[in-house]
Amino acid sequence: MNVVDAFQSVNGGQIPNLFYEKDCSGLNKRIVITDNLLKLKDSFHFQNFNVETEARWKLVETTWNLNINLNVLEIKYYEDSSLFILENDAM
């Protein structure tokens, strides 16, 4: 899994309303932004957008710095406590 694919992944699955889609059908690879990205601005999630993006990027950078595969980490979100927990049985 790469960064582009992982961004729309939460709790081991893909989010239901994708913000973008990858188009690798032609010679030029591209990312197609969906209307869901624009709708995000009107949702309560928008206030956390910058923090969420930065947190996900730092997680990727951390795995690179530690020279471990991002796939061995599992981030779980517990809605009742609003906590993200890093779980890793491989380390």
User: Residue 68 carries which DSSP code?
Assistant: -
pLDDT digits (tens, 9 = 90+) for 42-61: 888 788 888 878 887 887 78
- Per-residue pLDDT for 5 more than 80? no
Here the tokens at position 36 are 């869901």
Instruction: Give the pLDDT band (50/70/90) at residue 10.
Output: confident
pLDDT score of 41: 84
Query: Would you state the torsion angle of the CA atoms of residues 58, 15, 50, 69, taken in this order, to the nearest 10 degrees?
Result: 10
Q: Domain segments of the chain: what residues? A: 3-87
3 state DSSP class of 90: coil
The answer to whether the beta carbons of residues 13 and 82 sit under 8 Å apart is no
